[in-house]
Structure 1
Amino acid sequence: MRALIVDDSRAMRKIVGRILVDAGYEVLEAGDGQEALDVLNSLDGDLPDLACVDWNMPVMDGLTFITEVRKQTEWRAITLMMVTTESEQDRIVRALAAGAHEYLIKPFTGDALVEKLDLLGLTATTVGDLA
């Protein structure tokens, strides 16, 4: 399985990346929403199963990225999870309405991220159970 981590913090990309690698993912990274769109465009259809997206980033924020991904029919299978410090209820509602499947508030534990993946059916155990 493959995941794209979209966050302007290199440290946060490494933290999330380590958790995802331990969960069996190949990890791609982008420092903002526009860079993430460029990554998706470069993959020739070999898209990630999951994108973990921060809200607050320069160039293109996470909400705009999610909106842009949802406009593309060929990208609709990507599961989108906001991973952000934005904890206000209206932000959560906006992200889910824009097309995010889940919302994880920073700071979080590795177990919390894996639990979200499990809820989404995207952990190695849940994928194996489906086979």
Structure 2
Amino acid sequence: MPRGPPDPGDSPESRMAASEVYTKTGRALGVTDQDEVLWTPSRPHGTMVKTPQLHCGNIAAAKILGAGLATIGLAGAGVGVGLVFAALINSTSRNPSLRPQLFSYTILGFALTEAIGLFALMMAFLLLYAA
């Protein structure tokens, strides 16, 4: 069964040209031979590509940034709890006889609002400490 035309990147000449381009580009970017590099196959048939180890640093930075953004939900939960209890105080001042009934609804609203904050905190920890 024919596979189609051969890939021009498979020839030794193209591999040599790619190596020269990488060397020239690396020198232009200030990459030296002492820098740690990771060899990863770019194709299943074994062509190798050099990538810097900075990729691991980018992953760590993305984890920290994502965890920081996930904690925004905690601020929202704090505002929500404040609004729930502000509504309780406002309602109780208008009609003090309904305080017991309103207080049970307030505790339910507090629990649901705080659950959203705990989900945000869980996501932040998951982003930071999950493998």
TM exceeding 0.5: no
Normalised by the length of structure 2, the TM-score is 0.23
Identify, as 1 or 2, the structure richer in strand: 1
Q: Which has the larger radius of gyration?
A: 2
Identify, as 1 or 2, the structure richer in helix: 2
Normalised by the length of structure 1, the TM-score is 0.23
